[in-house]
Structure 1
Amino acid sequence: MKKRYIPFFLLLSALYSCNNKPTDHFVLRGTIPGATDSTEIVLSPAGKYSQKIAQGFIVNGKFELQGKVDQPTYCRLSMNDQEYLDRSDSQQHSRYMEIDFFVENGELTFQTPHIDSLPESFWRYDVRKEKNYTLTGSPTQEIFYRYQQQTIPSRHGIRQLEQHLLKDATPEEYKTLTKTKSELEAQTKEFIRQHHNLPVNLYLVNQLKKEPFTYDQAYLDELAGFFASCQDTCSALKDFRQYLQEARAYVQGKPLEDGKVITPDKQETSLLSRLKKGGYTVIDFWASWCGPCRASFPHLREMYKIHGEKVTFISISVDKDEKEWHKALEEEKLPWEQYLATPEFSKATRADYNLTSIPTFLIINPEGNIIFSGHNSNELETILEAKNR
Protein backbone atom coordinates (compact mmCIF):
# COMPACT_ATOMS: atom_id res chain seq x y z
CA MET A 1 0.00 0.00 0.00
CA LYS A 2 1.38 3.35 -1.04
CA LYS A 3 1.86 5.86 1.78
CA ARG A 4 0.67 9.41 1.38
CA TYR A 5 2.66 12.30 2.80
CA ILE A 6 1.32 15.75 3.55
CA PRO A 7 3.83 18.38 2.49
CA PHE A 8 5.47 20.11 5.46
CA PHE A 9 4.48 23.60 4.28
CA LEU A 10 0.81 22.51 4.25
CA LEU A 11 1.11 21.32 7.85
CA LEU A 12 2.61 24.67 8.82
CA SER A 13 -0.15 26.49 6.97
CA ALA A 14 -2.86 24.50 8.74
CA LEU A 15 -1.21 25.01 12.13
CA TYR A 16 -0.89 28.74 11.47
CA SER A 17 -4.52 29.09 10.45
CA CYS A 18 -5.66 27.34 13.62
CA ASN A 19 -3.61 29.54 15.94
CA ASN A 20 -3.61 32.84 14.10
CA LYS A 21 -5.73 35.42 15.90
CA PRO A 22 -7.09 38.50 14.16
CA THR A 23 -5.22 41.71 14.84
CA ASP A 24 -7.02 44.08 12.48
CA HIS A 25 -10.53 43.27 13.76
CA PHE A 26 -12.28 41.51 16.61
CA VAL A 27 -14.46 38.44 16.78
CA LEU A 28 -16.65 38.47 19.88
CA ARG A 29 -18.31 35.15 20.67
CA GLY A 30 -20.68 34.86 23.58
CA THR A 31 -22.70 32.32 25.49
CA ILE A 32 -25.84 33.52 27.28
CA PRO A 33 -27.99 30.64 28.56
CA GLY A 34 -31.67 31.45 28.90
CA ALA A 35 -31.70 34.20 26.28
CA THR A 36 -34.68 34.24 23.93
CA ASP A 37 -33.84 33.20 20.39
CA SER A 38 -33.68 36.19 18.01
CA THR A 39 -32.84 38.60 20.83
CA GLU A 40 -31.10 41.55 19.18
CA ILE A 41 -27.59 42.24 20.44
CA VAL A 42 -25.76 45.50 19.69
CA LEU A 43 -22.23 46.67 20.48
CA SER A 44 -21.76 50.46 20.61
CA PRO A 45 -19.16 52.87 21.98
CA ALA A 46 -20.28 53.81 25.50
CA GLY A 47 -22.03 57.17 25.38
CA LYS A 48 -22.44 57.03 21.59
CA TYR A 49 -25.19 54.48 21.32
CA SER A 50 -26.36 55.53 17.86
CA GLN A 51 -22.96 54.40 16.51
CA LYS A 52 -23.14 50.64 16.14
CA ILE A 53 -19.80 48.85 15.97
CA ALA A 54 -21.46 45.47 15.45
CA GLN A 55 -24.87 43.88 15.80
CA GLY A 56 -26.52 40.51 15.49
CA PHE A 57 -28.90 38.08 17.18
CA ILE A 58 -28.71 35.42 19.85
CA VAL A 59 -29.42 31.90 18.56
CA ASN A 60 -29.48 28.87 20.86
CA GLY A 61 -27.96 30.95 23.63
CA LYS A 62 -24.97 32.00 21.53
CA PHE A 63 -23.93 34.97 19.43
CA GLU A 64 -21.01 36.12 17.32
CA LEU A 65 -20.14 39.72 16.47
CA GLN A 66 -17.36 41.00 14.26
CA GLY A 67 -16.05 44.51 13.93
CA LYS A 68 -13.03 46.74 14.26
CA VAL A 69 -11.75 49.29 16.77
CA ASP A 70 -8.69 51.48 16.32
CA GLN A 71 -7.70 51.10 19.96
CA PRO A 72 -9.12 49.49 23.12
CA THR A 73 -12.56 51.06 23.36
CA TYR A 74 -15.04 51.18 26.23
CA CYS A 75 -18.26 49.77 24.81
CA ARG A 76 -21.78 48.80 25.77
CA LEU A 77 -23.28 45.46 24.81
CA SER A 78 -27.08 45.80 24.73
CA MET A 79 -29.56 42.95 24.51
CA ASN A 80 -33.23 43.57 23.81
CA ASP A 81 -35.83 40.94 22.93
CA GLN A 82 -38.82 43.32 22.87
CA GLU A 83 -39.09 43.46 19.06
CA TYR A 84 -39.08 39.67 18.76
CA LEU A 85 -41.68 39.27 21.51
CA ASP A 86 -43.91 41.85 19.81
CA ARG A 87 -43.66 40.01 16.49
CA SER A 88 -44.39 36.64 18.06
CA ASP A 89 -47.25 38.04 20.18
CA SER A 90 -45.61 36.47 23.22
CA GLN A 91 -46.74 37.18 26.77
CA GLN A 92 -43.20 36.64 28.04
CA HIS A 93 -41.61 39.45 30.05
CA SER A 94 -39.16 41.39 27.88
CA ARG A 95 -35.52 41.74 28.87
CA TYR A 96 -33.23 44.69 28.24
CA MET A 97 -29.71 44.08 29.47
CA GLU A 98 -26.65 46.33 29.33
CA ILE A 99 -23.04 45.34 29.93
CA ASP A 100 -20.07 47.69 29.64
CA PHE A 101 -16.53 46.50 28.95
CA PHE A 102 -13.41 47.24 26.91
CA VAL A 103 -13.19 45.80 23.41
CA GLU A 104 -10.00 45.46 21.40
CA ASN A 105 -9.12 43.64 18.20
CA GLY A 106 -8.59 39.90 18.57
CA GLU A 107 -10.64 36.90 19.64
CA LEU A 108 -12.94 37.76 22.54
CA THR A 109 -15.17 35.47 24.56
CA PHE A 110 -18.14 36.59 26.66
CA GLN A 111 -19.65 34.22 29.22
CA THR A 112 -22.35 34.38 31.87
CA PRO A 113 -24.22 31.67 33.82
CA HIS A 114 -27.67 32.90 32.71
CA ILE A 115 -29.21 35.96 31.11
CA ASP A 116 -31.06 36.76 34.35
CA SER A 117 -27.72 37.08 36.14
CA LEU A 118 -26.80 40.09 33.96
CA PRO A 119 -27.49 43.72 34.93
CA GLU A 120 -30.71 45.18 33.57
CA SER A 121 -30.73 48.62 32.02
CA PHE A 122 -31.48 52.11 33.34
CA TRP A 123 -32.79 52.42 36.90
CA ARG A 124 -32.85 48.63 37.35
CA TYR A 125 -29.09 48.38 36.85
CA ASP A 126 -27.53 46.43 39.72
CA VAL A 127 -23.79 47.06 40.11
CA ARG A 128 -23.41 43.82 42.06
CA LYS A 129 -24.25 41.79 38.95
CA GLU A 130 -21.05 42.95 37.27
CA LYS A 131 -19.36 39.95 38.85
CA ASN A 132 -21.67 37.59 36.94
CA TYR A 133 -19.96 37.82 33.56
CA THR A 134 -16.47 37.66 32.09
CA LEU A 135 -14.86 38.84 28.89
CA THR A 136 -11.61 37.11 28.02
CA GLY A 137 -9.18 37.97 25.24
CA SER A 138 -8.87 41.67 26.09
CA PRO A 139 -5.92 42.55 28.36
CA THR A 140 -7.42 46.00 28.84
CA GLN A 141 -10.71 44.57 30.07
CA GLU A 142 -8.88 42.23 32.45
CA ILE A 143 -7.39 45.30 34.17
CA PHE A 144 -10.71 47.14 34.18
CA TYR A 145 -12.46 44.06 35.58
CA ARG A 146 -10.19 44.27 38.64
CA TYR A 147 -11.32 47.84 39.22
CA GLN A 148 -14.97 46.85 38.83
CA GLN A 149 -14.69 44.08 41.40
CA GLN A 150 -12.74 46.18 43.90
CA THR A 151 -15.25 49.03 43.81
CA ILE A 152 -18.56 47.16 43.67
CA PRO A 153 -19.43 47.91 47.35
CA SER A 154 -18.78 51.65 46.99
CA ARG A 155 -20.50 52.02 43.62
CA HIS A 156 -23.50 49.98 44.73
CA GLY A 157 -23.82 52.08 47.89
CA ILE A 158 -23.71 55.30 45.88
CA ARG A 159 -26.33 54.09 43.42
CA GLN A 160 -28.66 52.99 46.21
CA LEU A 161 -28.31 56.33 48.00
CA GLU A 162 -28.81 58.35 44.81
CA GLN A 163 -31.97 56.43 43.92
CA HIS A 164 -33.34 57.00 47.42
CA LEU A 165 -32.43 60.69 47.36
CA LEU A 166 -34.51 61.16 44.22
CA LYS A 167 -37.60 60.18 46.21
CA ASP A 168 -36.99 61.29 49.76
CA ALA A 169 -33.81 62.78 51.13
CA THR A 170 -32.37 64.15 54.33
CA PRO A 171 -29.17 66.15 54.83
CA GLU A 172 -27.72 63.27 56.86
CA GLU A 173 -28.25 60.86 53.98
CA TYR A 174 -26.60 63.32 51.65
CA LYS A 175 -23.61 63.47 53.98
CA THR A 176 -23.39 59.68 53.79
CA LEU A 177 -23.51 59.89 50.00
CA THR A 178 -20.75 62.50 49.97
CA LYS A 179 -18.58 60.35 52.23
CA THR A 180 -19.09 57.25 50.06
CA LYS A 181 -18.23 59.23 46.92
CA SER A 182 -15.03 60.43 48.57
CA GLU A 183 -14.11 56.83 49.39
CA LEU A 184 -14.70 55.79 45.77
CA GLU A 185 -12.64 58.75 44.57
CA ALA A 186 -9.72 57.62 46.74
CA GLN A 187 -10.04 54.03 45.46
CA THR A 188 -10.09 55.22 41.86
CA LYS A 189 -7.03 57.44 42.26
CA GLU A 190 -5.08 54.63 43.90
CA PHE A 191 -6.04 52.21 41.13
CA ILE A 192 -4.83 54.68 38.49
CA ARG A 193 -1.51 55.06 40.31
CA GLN A 194 -0.99 51.30 40.44
CA HIS A 195 -2.00 50.49 36.87
CA HIS A 196 -0.47 52.08 33.81
CA ASN A 197 -3.07 51.21 31.21
CA LEU A 198 -3.91 54.37 29.27
CA PRO A 199 -7.44 53.44 28.03
CA VAL A 200 -8.55 52.28 31.49
CA ASN A 201 -7.01 55.23 33.30
CA LEU A 202 -8.53 57.73 30.87
CA TYR A 203 -11.95 56.21 31.44
CA LEU A 204 -11.50 56.29 35.22
CA VAL A 205 -10.12 59.81 35.39
CA ASN A 206 -13.16 61.06 33.49
CA GLN A 207 -15.26 59.67 36.35
CA LEU A 208 -13.33 62.01 38.66
CA LYS A 209 -14.58 65.17 36.97
CA LYS A 210 -16.48 67.43 39.36
CA GLU A 211 -19.06 70.18 39.18
CA PRO A 212 -17.69 73.69 38.56
CA PHE A 213 -16.46 75.50 41.68
CA THR A 214 -16.29 72.29 43.73
CA TYR A 215 -12.58 71.69 43.06
CA ASP A 216 -9.39 73.72 43.30
CA GLN A 217 -6.38 74.04 41.02
CA ALA A 218 -4.47 71.46 43.06
CA TYR A 219 -7.15 68.89 42.21
CA LEU A 220 -6.80 69.57 38.48
CA ASP A 221 -3.02 69.36 38.77
CA GLU A 222 -3.36 65.99 40.48
CA LEU A 223 -5.49 64.64 37.63
CA ALA A 224 -3.07 66.02 35.05
CA GLY A 225 -0.18 64.37 36.88
CA PHE A 226 -1.55 60.90 36.18
CA PHE A 227 -0.63 61.41 32.50
CA ALA A 228 2.42 63.64 32.84
CA SER A 229 4.66 61.16 31.00
CA CYS A 230 2.13 60.37 28.25
CA GLN A 231 2.25 61.78 24.74
CA ASP A 232 -0.92 62.95 22.99
CA THR A 233 -1.21 59.69 21.09
CA CYS A 234 -5.00 59.39 21.19
CA SER A 235 -7.97 61.72 20.92
CA ALA A 236 -9.25 60.74 24.38
CA LEU A 237 -6.09 62.03 26.05
CA LYS A 238 -6.20 65.23 23.99
CA ASP A 239 -9.85 65.71 24.98
CA PHE A 240 -9.07 65.22 28.65
CA ARG A 241 -6.23 67.71 28.57
CA GLN A 242 -8.55 70.16 26.83
CA TYR A 243 -11.07 69.63 29.63
CA LEU A 244 -8.38 70.43 32.22
CA GLN A 245 -7.61 73.68 30.44
CA GLU A 246 -11.27 74.70 30.33
CA ALA A 247 -11.89 73.58 33.93
CA ARG A 248 -9.33 76.10 35.18
CA ALA A 249 -11.93 78.81 34.56
CA TYR A 250 -14.23 77.30 37.19
CA VAL A 251 -11.99 76.55 40.17
CA GLN A 252 -13.16 77.41 43.66
CA GLY A 253 -12.40 80.99 44.55
CA LYS A 254 -13.18 82.60 41.21
CA PRO A 255 -14.61 86.10 41.75
CA LEU A 256 -18.31 86.39 40.97
CA GLU A 257 -18.78 88.26 37.71
CA ASP A 258 -21.11 91.23 37.81
CA GLY A 259 -24.28 91.42 35.77
CA LYS A 260 -27.42 93.46 35.45
CA VAL A 261 -30.60 92.12 37.00
CA ILE A 262 -34.13 93.51 37.17
CA THR A 263 -36.13 93.93 40.37
CA PRO A 264 -39.83 93.01 40.60
CA ASP A 265 -40.67 96.72 40.26
CA LYS A 266 -38.67 96.82 36.99
CA GLN A 267 -35.59 98.62 38.28
CA GLU A 268 -32.20 97.57 36.94
CA THR A 269 -29.47 96.91 39.49
CA SER A 270 -26.02 95.36 39.80
CA LEU A 271 -25.73 91.80 41.09
CA LEU A 272 -22.50 92.50 42.98
CA SER A 273 -24.22 95.30 44.88
CA ARG A 274 -26.66 92.76 46.33
CA LEU A 275 -24.04 90.49 47.93
CA LYS A 276 -23.92 90.30 51.70
CA LYS A 277 -21.11 92.45 53.05
CA GLY A 278 -18.86 90.33 55.25
CA GLY A 279 -21.06 87.25 54.93
CA TYR A 280 -22.10 84.43 52.64
CA THR A 281 -24.59 84.73 49.79
CA VAL A 282 -26.64 81.97 48.15
CA ILE A 283 -27.68 82.56 44.54
CA ASP A 284 -30.43 80.38 43.09
CA PHE A 285 -30.85 80.33 39.30
CA TRP A 286 -34.33 79.21 38.30
CA ALA A 287 -37.24 79.78 35.88
CA SER A 288 -41.02 79.74 36.14
CA TRP A 289 -41.27 76.81 33.70
CA CYS A 290 -38.71 74.67 35.58
CA GLY A 291 -40.49 72.05 37.70
CA PRO A 292 -37.42 70.92 39.68
CA CYS A 293 -36.60 74.57 40.42
CA ARG A 294 -39.97 75.25 41.98
CA ALA A 295 -39.95 71.89 43.74
CA SER A 296 -36.80 73.02 45.57
CA PHE A 297 -38.46 76.13 47.04
CA PRO A 298 -39.92 74.45 50.16
CA HIS A 299 -36.44 73.27 51.12
CA LEU A 300 -34.98 76.70 50.37
CA ARG A 301 -37.64 78.22 52.64
CA GLU A 302 -36.45 75.97 55.48
CA MET A 303 -32.83 76.99 54.89
CA TYR A 304 -33.82 80.64 54.76
CA LYS A 305 -35.53 80.36 58.15
CA ILE A 306 -32.40 78.82 59.67
CA HIS A 307 -29.65 80.78 57.93
CA GLY A 308 -31.44 83.90 56.68
CA GLU A 309 -30.00 86.21 59.34
CA LYS A 310 -26.41 85.32 58.49
CA VAL A 311 -26.72 84.47 54.80
CA THR A 312 -28.20 86.53 51.98
CA PHE A 313 -30.50 84.53 49.69
CA ILE A 314 -30.97 85.71 46.11
CA SER A 315 -33.04 84.07 43.38
CA ILE A 316 -32.39 85.02 39.77
CA SER A 317 -34.87 83.92 37.14
CA VAL A 318 -33.68 83.25 33.60
CA ASP A 319 -37.23 83.56 32.24
CA LYS A 320 -37.52 85.21 28.85
CA ASP A 321 -41.12 86.18 29.55
CA GLU A 322 -41.27 88.77 32.33
CA LYS A 323 -45.01 88.22 32.81
CA GLU A 324 -44.48 84.53 33.54
CA TRP A 325 -41.82 85.46 36.09
CA HIS A 326 -44.18 87.86 37.87
CA LYS A 327 -46.93 85.24 37.82
CA ALA A 328 -44.62 82.68 39.43
CA LEU A 329 -43.52 85.20 42.07
CA GLU A 330 -47.14 85.83 42.97
CA GLU A 331 -47.78 82.09 43.28
CA GLU A 332 -44.64 81.24 45.25
CA LYS A 333 -44.41 84.34 47.49
CA LEU A 334 -40.73 83.75 48.23
CA PRO A 335 -39.49 85.83 51.19
CA TRP A 336 -35.96 86.56 49.93
CA GLU A 337 -34.62 88.83 47.19
CA GLN A 338 -35.94 88.15 43.69
CA TYR A 339 -34.46 89.30 40.38
CA LEU A 340 -34.84 88.67 36.67
CA ALA A 341 -31.68 88.28 34.61
CA THR A 342 -31.34 90.67 31.70
CA PRO A 343 -30.88 88.97 28.30
CA GLU A 344 -27.21 89.96 28.32
CA PHE A 345 -26.67 88.52 31.80
CA SER A 346 -28.52 85.29 30.94
CA LYS A 347 -26.22 84.81 27.97
CA ALA A 348 -23.11 85.54 30.04
CA THR A 349 -23.95 83.03 32.78
CA ARG A 350 -23.03 80.07 30.56
CA ALA A 351 -19.46 81.27 30.14
CA ASP A 352 -19.06 82.92 33.55
CA TYR A 353 -20.60 80.18 35.73
CA ASN A 354 -20.85 77.24 33.29
CA LEU A 355 -24.60 77.46 33.83
CA THR A 356 -26.00 74.71 31.60
CA SER A 357 -29.01 73.56 33.64
CA ILE A 358 -31.30 74.74 36.41
CA PRO A 359 -31.78 74.83 39.27
CA THR A 360 -28.20 75.84 39.94
CA PHE A 361 -27.10 77.08 43.35
CA LEU A 362 -23.99 79.16 43.97
CA ILE A 363 -22.43 80.03 47.31
CA ILE A 364 -20.41 83.24 47.42
CA ASN A 365 -17.97 83.77 50.30
CA PRO A 366 -17.49 87.09 52.16
CA GLU A 367 -14.72 88.04 49.71
CA GLY A 368 -17.09 87.76 46.74
CA ASN A 369 -15.66 84.49 45.40
CA ILE A 370 -17.60 81.43 44.26
CA ILE A 371 -16.92 78.44 46.52
CA PHE A 372 -19.72 76.09 45.45
CA SER A 373 -21.96 75.27 42.51
CA GLY A 374 -24.53 72.49 42.44
CA HIS A 375 -28.05 71.42 41.60
CA ASN A 376 -29.11 69.62 44.78
CA SER A 377 -30.61 71.56 47.67
CA ASN A 378 -29.48 68.92 50.18
CA GLU A 379 -25.90 69.43 49.07
CA LEU A 380 -26.41 73.17 49.38
CA GLU A 381 -27.69 72.76 52.94
CA THR A 382 -24.71 70.58 53.87
CA ILE A 383 -22.28 73.27 52.71
CA LEU A 384 -24.21 76.06 54.45
CA GLU A 385 -24.24 74.17 57.74
CA ALA A 386 -20.49 73.69 57.54
CA LYS A 387 -19.92 77.39 56.84
CA ASN A 388 -22.23 78.64 59.60
CA ARG A 389 -21.04 76.53 62.51
Structure 2
Amino acid sequence: MKKTLLILALLFCIITSSKAQVVGTDIGDIAPEIDLPNPKGENVALSSLRGSLVLVDFWASWCGPCIKEQPLLLKMHNAYPDKLSIYGVSMDTKKPLWLGAIAKGKLPWTNVSDLKYWTSPVVGDYMLQSVPLNFLVDKNGIIVAKNIHGKALEDMVKSILEQ
Protein backbone atom coordinates (compact mmCIF):
# COMPACT_ATOMS: atom_id res chain seq x y z
CA MET A 1 0.00 0.00 0.00
CA LYS A 2 2.81 2.41 0.89
CA LYS A 3 4.54 1.58 -2.40
CA THR A 4 1.37 2.31 -4.37
CA LEU A 5 0.89 5.67 -2.62
CA LEU A 6 4.53 6.55 -3.23
CA ILE A 7 4.21 5.71 -6.92
CA LEU A 8 0.98 7.70 -7.21
CA ALA A 9 2.56 10.67 -5.45
CA LEU A 10 5.57 10.51 -7.79
CA LEU A 11 3.33 10.34 -10.86
CA PHE A 12 1.26 13.26 -9.59
CA CYS A 13 4.43 15.35 -9.13
CA ILE A 14 5.68 14.50 -12.61
CA ILE A 15 2.34 15.27 -14.28
CA THR A 16 1.75 18.55 -12.48
CA SER A 17 5.31 19.80 -12.86
CA SER A 18 5.62 19.20 -16.59
CA LYS A 19 4.91 22.32 -18.59
CA ALA A 20 3.07 21.33 -21.73
CA GLN A 21 3.12 23.88 -24.50
CA VAL A 22 -0.25 25.59 -24.80
CA VAL A 23 -1.90 28.18 -26.98
CA GLY A 24 -1.81 31.42 -25.03
CA THR A 25 -0.21 34.82 -24.65
CA ASP A 26 2.67 34.07 -22.30
CA ILE A 27 6.25 33.85 -23.49
CA GLY A 28 6.79 30.24 -24.56
CA ASP A 29 3.14 29.73 -25.56
CA ILE A 30 1.97 29.05 -29.09
CA ALA A 31 0.50 32.29 -30.43
CA PRO A 32 -3.28 32.08 -30.88
CA GLU A 33 -4.38 31.95 -34.49
CA ILE A 34 -5.66 35.13 -36.10
CA ASP A 35 -7.44 34.91 -39.44
CA LEU A 36 -8.79 38.30 -40.49
CA PRO A 37 -9.34 40.16 -43.76
CA ASN A 38 -6.71 42.42 -45.29
CA PRO A 39 -7.71 45.70 -47.01
CA LYS A 40 -8.75 43.73 -50.14
CA GLY A 41 -11.11 41.57 -48.07
CA GLU A 42 -8.95 38.44 -48.31
CA ASN A 43 -8.39 36.61 -45.04
CA VAL A 44 -4.74 36.20 -44.02
CA ALA A 45 -3.96 33.74 -41.25
CA LEU A 46 -1.15 34.50 -38.84
CA SER A 47 -0.01 30.89 -39.22
CA SER A 48 0.61 31.52 -42.94
CA LEU A 49 3.67 33.55 -41.91
CA ARG A 50 5.35 30.68 -40.05
CA GLY A 51 8.92 30.12 -41.07
CA SER A 52 9.99 33.69 -40.31
CA LEU A 53 10.09 35.84 -37.21
CA VAL A 54 6.73 37.63 -36.94
CA LEU A 55 5.84 40.78 -35.07
CA VAL A 56 2.11 40.75 -34.32
CA ASP A 57 1.37 44.44 -33.89
CA PHE A 58 -2.00 45.53 -32.46
CA TRP A 59 -2.56 49.18 -33.39
CA ALA A 60 -5.17 51.74 -34.44
CA SER A 61 -5.20 54.87 -36.60
CA TRP A 62 -6.23 56.98 -33.57
CA CYS A 63 -3.41 55.65 -31.34
CA GLY A 64 -0.59 58.21 -31.16
CA PRO A 65 2.04 55.81 -29.73
CA CYS A 66 1.13 53.25 -32.43
CA ILE A 67 1.65 55.76 -35.24
CA LYS A 68 4.85 57.03 -33.61
CA GLU A 69 6.35 53.51 -33.67
CA GLN A 70 5.60 52.86 -37.35
CA PRO A 71 8.84 54.42 -38.68
CA LEU A 72 10.83 51.97 -36.52
CA LEU A 73 8.72 49.07 -37.78
CA LEU A 74 9.30 50.24 -41.34
CA LYS A 75 13.05 50.42 -40.69
CA MET A 76 13.08 46.84 -39.32
CA HIS A 77 10.86 45.61 -42.17
CA ASN A 78 13.30 47.05 -44.69
CA ALA A 79 16.38 45.76 -42.84
CA TYR A 80 15.13 42.14 -42.73
CA PRO A 81 12.74 41.74 -45.68
CA ASP A 82 13.15 37.96 -45.92
CA LYS A 83 13.48 37.20 -42.21
CA LEU A 84 10.94 39.43 -40.44
CA SER A 85 7.24 39.59 -41.15
CA ILE A 86 4.95 42.14 -39.56
CA TYR A 87 1.30 41.25 -39.06
CA GLY A 88 -0.54 44.46 -38.22
CA VAL A 89 -3.90 43.97 -36.52
CA SER A 90 -5.91 47.19 -36.56
CA MET A 91 -8.43 47.92 -33.83
CA ASP A 92 -10.12 50.54 -35.99
CA THR A 93 -13.88 50.40 -36.57
CA LYS A 94 -14.00 52.59 -39.66
CA LYS A 95 -12.43 51.24 -42.84
CA PRO A 96 -11.54 54.67 -44.33
CA LEU A 97 -9.52 55.57 -41.19
CA TRP A 98 -7.74 52.19 -41.23
CA LEU A 99 -6.92 52.39 -44.95
CA GLY A 100 -5.90 56.05 -44.63
CA ALA A 101 -3.43 55.24 -41.84
CA ILE A 102 -1.93 52.39 -43.90
CA ALA A 103 -1.52 54.72 -46.90
CA LYS A 104 -0.18 57.64 -44.88
CA GLY A 105 2.35 55.46 -43.03
CA LYS A 106 3.21 53.57 -46.25
CA LEU A 107 2.87 50.28 -44.36
CA PRO A 108 3.93 47.51 -46.77
CA TRP A 109 3.41 44.57 -44.41
CA THR A 110 0.36 42.42 -43.84
CA ASN A 111 -2.43 44.50 -42.34
CA VAL A 112 -5.68 42.93 -41.19
CA SER A 113 -8.81 44.02 -39.35
CA ASP A 114 -12.37 42.87 -38.83
CA LEU A 115 -13.30 46.46 -37.89
CA LYS A 116 -14.99 45.25 -34.70
CA TYR A 117 -12.53 46.61 -32.13
CA TRP A 118 -13.54 45.30 -28.67
CA THR A 119 -16.00 42.75 -30.03
CA SER A 120 -13.35 41.12 -32.23
CA PRO A 121 -12.46 37.56 -31.20
CA VAL A 122 -8.76 38.46 -31.16
CA VAL A 123 -9.35 40.81 -28.22
CA GLY A 124 -10.16 37.87 -25.96
CA ASP A 125 -7.60 35.53 -27.52
CA TYR A 126 -4.79 38.04 -26.93
CA MET A 127 -6.22 39.57 -23.74
CA LEU A 128 -6.05 42.97 -25.39
CA GLN A 129 -6.78 45.85 -23.04
CA SER A 130 -5.17 48.70 -24.95
CA VAL A 131 -2.99 49.50 -27.92
CA PRO A 132 -0.19 49.49 -28.79
CA LEU A 133 0.44 45.87 -27.93
CA ASN A 134 2.71 43.48 -29.74
CA PHE A 135 3.97 39.91 -29.67
CA LEU A 136 7.19 38.67 -31.20
CA VAL A 137 6.60 35.16 -32.54
CA ASP A 138 9.38 32.84 -33.68
CA LYS A 139 9.38 30.83 -36.91
CA ASN A 140 7.55 27.98 -35.16
CA GLY A 141 4.71 30.16 -33.85
CA ILE A 142 6.05 30.44 -30.29
CA ILE A 143 5.85 33.79 -28.47
CA VAL A 144 9.39 34.92 -27.58
CA ALA A 145 8.55 38.45 -26.35
CA LYS A 146 5.54 40.64 -25.77
CA ASN A 147 4.79 44.31 -25.40
CA ILE A 148 8.32 45.31 -26.30
CA HIS A 149 8.80 48.62 -28.09
CA GLY A 150 11.41 51.07 -29.39
CA LYS A 151 15.09 50.29 -29.06
CA ALA A 152 14.40 47.17 -26.97
CA LEU A 153 12.29 45.74 -29.81
CA GLU A 154 14.88 46.67 -32.40
CA ASP A 155 17.70 45.11 -30.37
CA MET A 156 15.76 41.90 -29.73
CA VAL A 157 14.85 41.47 -33.40
CA LYS A 158 18.45 42.10 -34.39
CA SER A 159 19.79 39.59 -31.85
CA ILE A 160 17.36 36.88 -33.00
CA LEU A 161 17.89 37.43 -36.72
CA GLU A 162 21.65 37.88 -36.68
CA GLN A 163 22.47 34.73 -34.73
Distance 1:354 1:378, change over 3 A: farther
The correspondence of residues 193-272 of structure 1 with structure 2, limited to 5 A, is 250-272=25-47
- Structure 1 residue 250: Cα displacement: 3.8
8 Å Cα contact 1:359/1:375 also seen in 2: no
Amino acid across the alignment from 1:276:
R
Equivalent position of 1:116 in the other structure: none
Amino acid across the alignment from 2:134:
F
What RMSD in Å do the two structures reach over aligned CA positions? 2.3
**Percent of aligned positions with the same letter in both sequences?**
26
Equivalent position of 2:160 in the other structure: 387
- Structure 1 residue 332: Cα displacement: 1.5
Equivalent position of 2:144 in the other structure: 371
For the pair 1:297 / 2:70, whether they are aligned, the reply is yes
Equivalent position of 2:4 in the other structure: none
How far apart are the structure 2 equivalents of 1:303 and 1:287? 20
Distance 1:388 1:269, change over 3 A: closer
The equivalent position to 2:82 in structure 1, one of 299, 303, 309, is 309
8 Å Cα contact 2:31/2:141 also seen in 1: yes
- Tell which structure's C-alpha radius of gyration is larger: 1
Equivalent position of 1:324 in the other structure: 97
Task: Note the alpha carbon deviations across 1:173-222, whole angstroms, 9 max, x for none.
Answer: xxxxxxxxxxxxxxxxxxxxxxxxxxxxxxxxxxxxxxxxxxxxxxxx9x
How far apart are the structure 1 equivalents of 2:34 and 2:115? 8
The equivalent position to 1:359 in structure 2, one of 132, 135, 149, is 132
Distance 1:251 1:329, change over 3 A: closer
**Unaligned stretches of 5+ residues in structure 2:** 1-16, 18-23
- Structure 1 residue 343: Cα displacement: 3.0
TM-score after normalising by structure 2: 0.75
How far apart are the structure 1 equivalents of 2:102 and 2:25? 31
Amino acid across the alignment from 1:251:
D
How far apart are the structure 1 equivalents of 2:141 and 2:156? 16
Distance 1:345 1:337, change over 3 A: farther
Q: Which runs of 4+ in 1 moved over 4 A?
A: none
- Structure 1 residue 345: Cα displacement: 8.8
Distance 1:263 1:350, change over 3 A: closer
How far apart are the structure 1 equivalents of 2:120 and 2:111? 19
Aligned length: 140
8 Å Cα contact 2:25/2:126 also seen in 1: yes
Relative contact order: is structure 1 or structure 2 higher (C-alpha 8 Å, sep ≥ 6)? 2
How far apart are the structure 2 equivalents of 1:329 and 1:344? 17
The equivalent position to 1:276 in structure 2, one of 50, 55, 70, is 50
For the pair 1:340 / 2:113, whether they are aligned, the reply is yes
Distance 1:346 1:300, change over 3 A: farther
- Structure 1 residue 340: Cα displacement: 1.5
